[in-house]
Structure 1
Amino acid sequence: MAVRCLMVDVDGVVVRHPDGRRWDADMEADLGLSPDDLQRAFFTPHFEDIVLGRADLHERLAPALAEIAPHLTSDRLAAYWFEQDGHLDHVLLDDLAAYRAEGLELHLATVQEHHRARHLWQSLGLNVRFEAMHYAADYGCKKPDAAFFRLVEERTGFAPHELLLIDDSLRNVEAARACGWHAILWTGELRLADALAQAGL
């Protein structure tokens, strides 16, 4: 049976910085907060719990900022982060829409926490372009864990061979294939049709 659903990653695929820079590249100049300090005080000790839905973003971010950047609120930093990390690849989205028009379902499969997931889905309008978003904090597990792929199958009703993952992480691509999915490694160098054809799909 042919592929019936494209499962598309967000960061590095749907969201791609046109100049290749990180979202926090100008953060120190813009907000007076060093990316290294944020990594040390927040991302390294807390983000795993947040992205797996075991803790809320603001509950962990606010005390970290009180230590390293007391002039910033967690709301202010999150708004900056989500805006800077929200550059949509409209060429890819238009290519995906063409497949949707032919009858394929489009879903997102991504490692996100709840607040950014809502921002992507509602504020950036991805809910108009995709049928559903499957994300780590909602599932309590993340790619490349096999449990994530199995939960996607259960929630969608698609069999593994009906699903195709488009992801920029080789680990995730290999994990999807190990679960019986089709998968391609996305580099952004080819148009979607060419990338699928190159993969024999």
Structure 2
Amino acid sequence: MSIVDIRHIVFDIGKVLIHYDPHIPYSRIIPDEAERSWFFANVCTHDWNIEQDRGRSWEEAEALLIQDHPEREEQIRAFRRHWHEMVPHAYLETVELMERLIAEGRDVTMLTNFASDTFREAQKRFPFLTLPRGVTVSGDVGLIKPDIEIYRTHARSFGLEPAATVFIDDSLANVEGARAAGWHAIHFTDAQRLRADLAAYGVQPLAGLHGMATAEASVAQP
């Protein structure tokens, strides 16, 4: 990859900066693995949950499922009630890398598929989510990745030049969405690979700028 002039770095959040796994509380709520798999495939599905990321209220979302699955009401309501258990910890190496970029004066923002209320909850639990210059939350703008309009909205909101922007996301579909918007993009797998991918773009943060937010992230509790 040839070195380009990257002036804007945009981070996804879930599975890049913080861990997310709805099976954590549901392994207790629905202990039987086969039943739990059925529940996520037929009741609280990915497609159902993504609409909260698009801005639908939890009240409406729960009502829709309870209407079709009244016998599952408590399990349905448990999704929001136990959401905090689904995000148990930060990815400290990635957080530290982001902190270093910010400490060096680089322009760092975030673009995330996240329900509005759970994102504000996450910011309280993980203070490093307040460090970048700003964030576009899908639930706030009514758009979700990989819709090209959310990338354009983010670029307009923060004055980003697409050709000078690199986006980091764990979802290949979201990476392709960023590229369709004219951004450079990195498919995140782990912090070590991310450092190498950023270096290929000429972005090599210095070592030794470990910030307090990383230390706080390591002790964030539900």
Specify the TM-score bucket, using the shorter chain as the normaliser. 0.7 to 0.9
Change (3 A) 1:150 1:45: closer
Q: 1:83 aligns with which of 82, 85, 90?
A: 85
Any gaps of 5 or more consecutive residues in structure 2? 204-222
1:50 aligns with 2:49: no
Aligned residues: 194
Match of 2:29 in 1: 31
TM-score by length of 2: 0.74
Deviation for aligned residue 1:182: 1.6
Rounded Cα–Cα distance in structure 1 between residues aligned with 2:74 and 2:147: 38
Match of 1:163 in 2: 165
Q: 1:186 aligns with which of 185, 188, 205?
A: 188
> Quick one: which amino acid aligns to residue 97 of structure 2?
D
Rounded Cα–Cα distance in structure 2 between residues aligned with 1:168 and 1:44: 16
**1:52 touches 1:136 (CA, 8 Å); kept in 2?**
yes
Rounded Cα–Cα distance in structure 2 between residues aligned with 1:168 and 1:48: 16
Deviation for aligned residue 1:124: 2.3
Deviation for aligned residue 1:103: 0.9
1:7 aligns with 2:5: no
Rounded Cα–Cα distance in structure 2 between residues aligned with 1:87 and 1:70: 28
Partner SS for 2:185:
strand
TM-score by length of 1: 0.80
Match of 2:217 in 1: none
Q: How does 1:35-184 map to 2 (within 5 A)?
A: 35-43=37-45, 46-53=48-55, 55-61=56-62, 64=65, 67-71=70-74, 74=77, 76-184=78-186
Deviation for aligned residue 1:156: 0.4
Rounded Cα–Cα distance in structure 2 between residues aligned with 1:48 and 1:189: 26
Q: Percent identity, aligned pairs only?
A: 23
> Quick one: which amino acid aligns to residue 92 of structure 2?
H
Rounded Cα–Cα distance in structure 2 between residues aligned with 1:9 and 1:16: 12
Match of 1:16 in 2: 19
**1:165 touches 1:182 (CA, 8 Å); kept in 2?**
yes
Match of 2:218 in 1: none
- String of CA shifts for 1:23-45, please: whole Å, max 9, x gaps: 315514x2247353254223366
- String of CA shifts for 1:117-171, please: whole Å, max 9, x gaps: 2222233224333222212221211111111111001110111123210111222
Change (3 A) 1:38 1:191: closer
Change (3 A) 1:13 1:48: closer
